[in-house]
Homo-oligomer: A and B are copies of this chain.
Amino acid sequence: MFPKNTWYVACTPDEIDAKPLGRTICNEPIVFFRGEQGKVAAVEDFCPHRGAPLSLGFVRDGQLVCGYHGLEMGCDGKCSSMPGQRVRGFPSIRAYPVVERYGFIWVWTGDAELADPADIPVLHWAESDEWAYGGGLYHVGCDYRLMIDNLMDLTHETYVHASSIGQPEIEEAAPETTVDGTEVITSRHMENISAPPFWQAALRGNNLADDVPVDRWQICRFTPPSHVMIEVGVAHAGRGGYDAPAEYKASSIVVDFITPETDTSIWYFWGMARNFNPGDQALTDRIREGQGQIFAEDLEMLEAQQRNLLAYPERRLLKLNIDGGGVQARRIIDRLLDAERQASADIAS
Protein backbone atom coordinates (compact mmCIF):
# COMPACT_ATOMS: atom_id res chain seq x y z
CA MET A 1 0.00 0.00 0.00
CA PHE A 2 2.37 2.66 -1.23
CA PRO A 3 2.22 5.00 -4.20
CA LYS A 4 4.24 3.60 -7.09
CA ASN A 5 4.18 6.42 -9.62
CA THR A 6 6.60 8.51 -7.67
CA TRP A 7 10.28 9.01 -6.90
CA TYR A 8 11.78 7.31 -3.87
CA VAL A 9 15.30 7.64 -2.57
CA ALA A 10 16.86 4.24 -3.26
CA CYS A 11 20.41 4.63 -2.03
CA THR A 12 23.35 6.98 -1.85
CA PRO A 13 26.08 7.06 -4.51
CA ASP A 14 28.72 5.51 -2.22
CA GLU A 15 26.58 2.37 -1.99
CA ILE A 16 27.01 1.60 -5.69
CA ASP A 17 30.44 2.99 -6.45
CA ALA A 18 32.37 -0.23 -5.81
CA LYS A 19 29.84 -2.87 -6.81
CA PRO A 20 26.18 -3.39 -7.64
CA LEU A 21 23.68 -3.00 -4.82
CA GLY A 22 20.69 -5.30 -4.40
CA ARG A 23 17.85 -3.58 -2.54
CA THR A 24 14.16 -4.32 -2.29
CA ILE A 25 11.97 -1.25 -2.74
CA CYS A 26 8.17 -1.33 -2.65
CA ASN A 27 8.36 -5.13 -2.49
CA GLU A 28 10.44 -5.29 -5.68
CA PRO A 29 14.00 -6.64 -5.65
CA ILE A 30 16.09 -4.20 -7.67
CA VAL A 31 19.79 -4.02 -8.46
CA PHE A 32 21.39 -0.57 -8.72
CA PHE A 33 24.68 -0.08 -10.53
CA ARG A 34 26.78 2.35 -12.53
CA GLY A 35 26.40 1.59 -16.24
CA GLU A 36 27.93 3.30 -19.24
CA GLN A 37 29.86 6.49 -18.44
CA GLY A 38 29.18 5.82 -14.80
CA LYS A 39 25.52 6.66 -15.22
CA VAL A 40 23.31 5.04 -12.60
CA ALA A 41 20.99 2.25 -13.71
CA ALA A 42 18.46 -0.03 -12.06
CA VAL A 43 16.97 -3.32 -13.24
CA GLU A 44 15.20 -6.25 -11.66
CA ASP A 45 17.55 -8.27 -9.47
CA PHE A 46 16.79 -11.46 -11.38
CA CYS A 47 18.94 -12.95 -14.12
CA PRO A 48 16.70 -14.21 -16.95
CA HIS A 49 19.06 -17.14 -17.48
CA ARG A 50 18.65 -19.10 -14.21
CA GLY A 51 17.18 -16.61 -11.77
CA ALA A 52 20.31 -15.72 -9.83
CA PRO A 53 20.39 -12.23 -8.29
CA LEU A 54 22.33 -9.95 -10.60
CA SER A 55 23.48 -8.00 -7.57
CA LEU A 56 25.95 -10.82 -6.85
CA GLY A 57 27.69 -9.98 -10.13
CA PHE A 58 29.86 -7.10 -11.26
CA VAL A 59 30.00 -4.28 -13.80
CA ARG A 60 32.20 -4.60 -16.88
CA ASP A 61 32.29 -1.96 -19.61
CA GLY A 62 29.04 -0.47 -18.41
CA GLN A 63 27.20 -3.80 -18.50
CA LEU A 64 26.01 -5.72 -15.46
CA VAL A 65 27.54 -9.21 -15.57
CA CYS A 66 25.75 -12.05 -13.75
CA GLY A 67 28.11 -13.63 -11.25
CA TYR A 68 26.82 -17.13 -11.95
CA HIS A 69 27.28 -17.77 -15.68
CA GLY A 70 28.29 -14.41 -17.12
CA LEU A 71 25.14 -13.18 -18.84
CA GLU A 72 25.62 -9.47 -19.56
CA MET A 73 22.67 -7.21 -18.84
CA GLY A 74 22.31 -3.74 -20.30
CA CYS A 75 21.00 -0.75 -18.40
CA ASP A 76 17.73 -1.11 -20.31
CA GLY A 77 17.06 -4.62 -18.99
CA LYS A 78 17.99 -6.25 -22.28
CA CYS A 79 20.59 -8.98 -22.34
CA SER A 80 23.53 -7.63 -24.33
CA SER A 81 25.67 -10.77 -24.56
CA MET A 82 26.55 -14.08 -22.98
CA PRO A 83 29.62 -16.26 -23.42
CA GLY A 84 29.08 -18.77 -26.19
CA GLN A 85 25.43 -17.85 -26.77
CA ARG A 86 23.29 -15.85 -29.15
CA VAL A 87 21.10 -13.66 -26.97
CA ARG A 88 18.69 -12.17 -29.49
CA GLY A 89 15.68 -14.09 -28.21
CA PHE A 90 16.44 -13.74 -24.52
CA PRO A 91 13.62 -12.27 -22.43
CA SER A 92 14.19 -8.82 -20.98
CA ILE A 93 13.84 -7.84 -17.38
CA ARG A 94 12.32 -4.66 -16.09
CA ALA A 95 14.41 -1.51 -16.04
CA TYR A 96 13.53 1.25 -13.61
CA PRO A 97 13.81 4.99 -14.26
CA VAL A 98 16.55 6.22 -11.99
CA VAL A 99 18.19 9.60 -11.43
CA GLU A 100 21.23 10.67 -9.44
CA ARG A 101 20.58 14.07 -7.91
CA TYR A 102 21.34 15.97 -4.70
CA GLY A 103 23.59 13.22 -3.41
CA PHE A 104 20.92 10.53 -3.66
CA ILE A 105 19.84 7.91 -6.21
CA TRP A 106 16.13 8.28 -6.93
CA VAL A 107 14.05 5.44 -8.37
CA TRP A 108 10.60 5.46 -9.95
CA THR A 109 8.77 2.24 -9.07
CA GLY A 110 5.65 2.73 -11.16
CA ASP A 111 4.79 3.16 -14.83
CA ALA A 112 8.05 4.18 -16.50
CA GLU A 113 6.26 6.30 -19.09
CA LEU A 114 5.07 8.63 -16.39
CA ALA A 115 8.48 9.18 -14.84
CA ASP A 116 9.58 12.80 -15.05
CA PRO A 117 12.79 13.83 -13.27
CA ALA A 118 11.31 17.28 -12.87
CA ASP A 119 9.03 15.77 -10.23
CA ILE A 120 11.94 15.06 -7.93
CA PRO A 121 11.63 17.55 -5.08
CA VAL A 122 13.93 20.54 -5.21
CA LEU A 123 16.49 20.48 -2.42
CA HIS A 124 18.10 23.91 -2.46
CA TRP A 125 20.39 23.08 0.48
CA ALA A 126 21.93 20.22 -1.49
CA GLU A 127 23.29 22.56 -4.18
CA SER A 128 24.51 25.51 -2.17
CA ASP A 129 27.95 26.07 -0.69
CA GLU A 130 26.30 27.84 2.20
CA TRP A 131 24.87 24.58 3.43
CA ALA A 132 26.42 21.40 4.82
CA TYR A 133 24.75 18.01 4.96
CA GLY A 134 25.41 14.85 6.95
CA GLY A 135 23.19 11.81 7.23
CA GLY A 136 22.81 8.06 7.39
CA LEU A 137 20.56 5.11 6.64
CA TYR A 138 18.57 2.90 9.00
CA HIS A 139 16.56 -0.21 8.21
CA VAL A 140 13.42 -0.21 10.34
CA GLY A 141 10.76 -2.91 10.66
CA CYS A 142 7.65 -0.74 10.36
CA ASP A 143 5.09 0.51 7.86
CA TYR A 144 6.41 3.71 6.27
CA ARG A 145 3.38 5.60 7.52
CA LEU A 146 4.31 4.96 11.15
CA MET A 147 7.56 6.82 10.51
CA ILE A 148 5.67 9.68 8.88
CA ASP A 149 3.42 9.87 11.96
CA ASN A 150 6.52 9.92 14.13
CA LEU A 151 8.09 12.80 12.28
CA MET A 152 4.94 14.85 11.91
CA ASP A 153 4.30 14.73 15.67
CA LEU A 154 7.38 15.78 17.58
CA THR A 155 5.74 15.60 21.00
CA HIS A 156 7.36 12.18 21.13
CA GLU A 157 10.69 13.95 21.63
CA THR A 158 9.73 14.64 25.23
CA TYR A 159 9.53 10.90 25.90
CA VAL A 160 11.65 9.08 23.35
CA HIS A 161 14.48 11.63 23.24
CA ALA A 162 14.28 13.03 26.78
CA SER A 163 18.04 13.32 27.16
CA SER A 164 18.88 15.13 23.91
CA ILE A 165 16.22 17.16 22.15
CA GLY A 166 13.15 16.50 24.26
CA GLN A 167 11.81 19.04 26.74
CA PRO A 168 8.42 19.48 28.43
CA GLU A 169 7.75 22.73 26.59
CA ILE A 170 7.27 20.83 23.34
CA GLU A 171 4.10 19.12 24.47
CA GLU A 172 2.91 22.30 26.15
CA ALA A 173 2.97 24.20 22.85
CA ALA A 174 0.01 23.19 20.73
CA PRO A 175 0.97 22.39 17.15
CA GLU A 176 -0.81 23.83 14.17
CA THR A 177 -1.40 21.74 11.06
CA THR A 178 -2.24 23.15 7.67
CA VAL A 179 -2.53 21.57 4.24
CA ASP A 180 -1.33 23.30 1.09
CA GLY A 181 -2.07 21.19 -1.98
CA THR A 182 -0.23 17.95 -1.34
CA GLU A 183 1.98 19.45 1.32
CA VAL A 184 1.17 19.10 5.02
CA ILE A 185 2.74 21.53 7.46
CA THR A 186 2.72 21.06 11.21
CA SER A 187 4.43 23.84 13.12
CA ARG A 188 5.15 24.50 16.76
CA HIS A 189 6.76 27.55 18.35
CA MET A 190 8.11 27.75 21.90
CA GLU A 191 9.16 31.05 23.40
CA ASN A 192 11.65 32.00 26.06
CA ILE A 193 12.69 28.50 27.06
CA SER A 194 15.99 26.79 27.87
CA ALA A 195 17.74 25.12 24.96
CA PRO A 196 18.04 21.33 25.35
CA PRO A 197 21.54 19.75 25.08
CA PHE A 198 21.50 19.21 21.31
CA TRP A 199 20.64 22.85 20.65
CA GLN A 200 23.08 24.16 23.23
CA ALA A 201 25.77 22.38 21.22
CA ALA A 202 24.42 23.85 17.98
CA LEU A 203 24.51 27.36 19.47
CA ARG A 204 28.11 26.82 20.51
CA GLY A 205 28.83 25.43 17.03
CA ASN A 206 27.53 28.72 15.68
CA ASN A 207 29.58 30.74 18.21
CA LEU A 208 26.52 31.83 20.15
CA ALA A 209 25.89 31.86 23.89
CA ASP A 210 24.21 28.61 24.91
CA ASP A 211 23.05 29.59 28.41
CA VAL A 212 20.48 32.25 27.61
CA PRO A 213 16.75 31.84 26.98
CA VAL A 214 15.80 30.96 23.44
CA ASP A 215 12.80 30.82 21.16
CA ARG A 216 12.52 27.43 19.47
CA TRP A 217 10.61 26.23 16.41
CA GLN A 218 9.78 23.02 14.58
CA ILE A 219 8.12 23.21 11.18
CA CYS A 220 7.44 19.77 9.72
CA ARG A 221 6.72 19.59 6.01
CA PHE A 222 5.38 16.37 4.50
CA THR A 223 5.37 15.95 0.74
CA PRO A 224 4.36 12.77 -1.12
CA PRO A 225 5.09 10.03 -1.20
CA SER A 226 6.91 10.02 2.14
CA HIS A 227 9.40 12.82 2.45
CA VAL A 228 9.47 14.89 5.63
CA MET A 229 11.64 17.99 5.90
CA ILE A 230 11.65 19.66 9.28
CA GLU A 231 12.88 23.18 9.80
CA VAL A 232 14.20 23.28 13.34
CA GLY A 233 16.14 25.85 15.29
CA VAL A 234 16.55 28.15 18.20
CA ALA A 235 17.17 31.90 18.37
CA HIS A 236 18.18 33.98 21.34
CA ALA A 237 14.85 34.95 22.88
CA GLY A 238 13.20 38.12 21.69
CA ARG A 239 15.16 38.38 18.45
CA GLY A 240 12.30 37.29 16.22
CA GLY A 241 12.38 33.50 16.66
CA TYR A 242 12.11 31.77 13.31
CA ASP A 243 12.50 35.16 11.59
CA ALA A 244 15.46 36.30 13.67
CA PRO A 245 18.58 37.48 11.83
CA ALA A 246 21.15 34.78 11.18
CA GLU A 247 23.56 36.08 13.82
CA TYR A 248 21.13 35.26 16.62
CA LYS A 249 20.09 31.76 15.73
CA ALA A 250 21.14 28.22 14.96
CA SER A 251 18.84 26.46 12.58
CA SER A 252 18.81 23.54 10.26
CA ILE A 253 16.63 21.20 8.26
CA VAL A 254 16.03 17.65 9.42
CA VAL A 255 15.90 15.59 6.24
CA ASP A 256 13.87 12.36 6.14
CA PHE A 257 13.37 10.20 3.09
CA ILE A 258 11.27 7.18 3.98
CA THR A 259 11.38 4.46 1.37
CA PRO A 260 9.17 1.38 1.75
CA GLU A 261 11.04 -1.89 1.49
CA THR A 262 8.02 -4.12 2.19
CA ASP A 263 4.62 -3.48 3.72
CA THR A 264 6.19 -3.52 7.16
CA SER A 265 9.75 -2.33 6.68
CA ILE A 266 11.51 0.76 5.41
CA TRP A 267 14.83 2.19 4.33
CA TYR A 268 15.08 5.33 6.37
CA PHE A 269 17.44 7.99 5.00
CA TRP A 270 17.91 10.61 7.69
CA GLY A 271 20.17 13.61 7.87
CA MET A 272 20.56 17.22 8.73
CA ALA A 273 21.29 20.20 6.48
CA ARG A 274 22.57 23.37 8.17
CA ASN A 275 23.58 26.79 6.95
CA PHE A 276 25.94 27.80 9.70
CA ASN A 277 29.65 26.96 9.60
CA PRO A 278 29.09 24.79 6.51
CA GLY A 279 32.80 24.28 6.01
CA ASP A 280 33.33 22.72 9.43
CA GLN A 281 33.47 19.00 8.60
CA ALA A 282 34.18 18.06 12.21
CA LEU A 283 30.97 19.80 13.20
CA THR A 284 29.11 17.94 10.46
CA ASP A 285 30.46 14.66 11.80
CA ARG A 286 29.51 15.50 15.38
CA ILE A 287 25.99 16.46 14.39
CA ARG A 288 25.57 13.30 12.33
CA GLU A 289 26.75 11.15 15.20
CA GLY A 290 24.41 12.88 17.63
CA GLN A 291 21.47 12.69 15.23
CA GLY A 292 22.18 9.04 14.54
CA GLN A 293 21.97 8.25 18.24
CA ILE A 294 18.76 10.22 18.65
CA PHE A 295 17.06 8.64 15.64
CA ALA A 296 18.10 5.18 16.75
CA GLU A 297 15.97 5.74 19.85
CA ASP A 298 12.87 5.72 17.66
CA LEU A 299 13.57 2.32 16.14
CA GLU A 300 12.68 0.14 19.12
CA MET A 301 9.46 2.06 19.66
CA LEU A 302 8.40 1.95 16.01
CA GLU A 303 9.12 -1.74 15.59
CA ALA A 304 7.29 -2.59 18.82
CA GLN A 305 4.36 -0.43 17.70
CA GLN A 306 4.30 -2.27 14.37
CA ARG A 307 4.23 -5.67 16.08
CA ASN A 308 1.38 -4.54 18.30
CA LEU A 309 -0.63 -3.25 15.33
CA LEU A 310 -0.15 -6.53 13.49
CA ALA A 311 -1.33 -8.39 16.59
CA TYR A 312 -4.44 -6.19 16.88
CA PRO A 313 -5.39 -5.41 13.29
CA GLU A 314 -8.96 -4.56 14.18
CA ARG A 315 -8.18 -1.79 16.67
CA ARG A 316 -8.79 1.79 15.63
CA LEU A 317 -6.23 4.27 16.87
CA LEU A 318 -6.92 7.77 18.17
CA LYS A 319 -6.49 10.84 16.01
CA LEU A 320 -5.70 13.66 18.41
CA ASN A 321 -4.74 17.22 17.70
CA ILE A 322 -1.05 16.26 17.91
CA ASP A 323 -1.66 13.57 15.30
CA GLY A 324 -2.99 16.06 12.77
CA GLY A 325 0.12 16.09 10.62
CA GLY A 326 0.21 12.31 10.23
CA VAL A 327 -3.54 12.11 9.68
CA GLN A 328 -3.43 14.71 6.90
CA ALA A 329 -0.40 13.05 5.32
CA ARG A 330 -2.25 9.72 5.23
CA ARG A 331 -5.22 11.40 3.54
CA ILE A 332 -2.96 12.65 0.78
CA ILE A 333 -1.33 9.23 0.44
CA ASP A 334 -4.78 7.63 0.27
CA ARG A 335 -5.78 10.02 -2.49
CA LEU A 336 -2.68 9.05 -4.47
CA LEU A 337 -3.41 5.37 -3.96
CA ASP A 338 -6.99 5.84 -5.08
CA ALA A 339 -5.82 7.70 -8.18
CA GLU A 340 -3.41 4.90 -9.07
CA ARG A 341 -6.11 2.27 -8.56
CA GLN A 342 -8.50 4.27 -10.70
CA ALA A 343 -5.89 4.63 -13.44
CA SER A 344 -5.31 0.85 -13.40
CA ALA A 345 -9.04 0.22 -13.59
CA ASP A 346 -9.39 2.60 -16.52
CA ILE A 347 -6.69 0.76 -18.41
CA ALA A 348 -8.26 -2.61 -17.65
CA SER A 349 -11.74 -1.58 -18.73
Contacts and interface: CB of A to CB of B under 8 A. Distances in A.
Interface in A158-173: 158-160, 171-172
B149 A312 contact: no
A57 B49 CA distance: 47
Contact of A172 (B46, B83, B153, B308): B83
A82 B304 CA distance: 21
B309 A69 contact: no
Interface stretch (A124-132, A313-321, A334-342): A313-321
Contacts of A134: none
Interface string A138-174: 0000000000010001011011100000000001101
Nearest to A149: B50
A69 B322 contact: yes
A247 interface: no
A66 interface: yes
Interface in A53-106: 53, 56-57, 65-70, 82-85, 90-91
A85 to B, nearest CB: 6
A49 B50 CA distance: 47
A209 interface: no
In this complex, the interface size class of chain A, counting residues with CB under 8 Å from chain B, is 35 or more
Contacts of A155: 69-70, 83-84
A312 B46 contact: yes
B50 A317 contact: yes
A193 interface: no
A92 to B, nearest CB: 12
A264 interface: no
A53 B308 CA distance: 7
Contacts of A17: none
B52 A301 contact: yes
A241 interface: no
A227 B208 CA distance: 66
Interface in A232-286: none
Given A46-B308, A50-B323, 17 more contacts: A50-B305, A51-B305, A51-B312, A52-B304, A52-B308, A53-B305, A67-B160, A67-B301, A69-B171, A70-B158, A70-B159, A83-B155, A84-B155, A84-B171, A84-B172, A84-B322, A90-B318
Interface of A: 29, 45-46, 48-53, 56-57, 65-70, 82-85, 90-91, 149, 153, 155-156, 158-160, 171-172, 174, 300-301, 304-305, 307-309, 311-312, 315, 317-318, 320-323
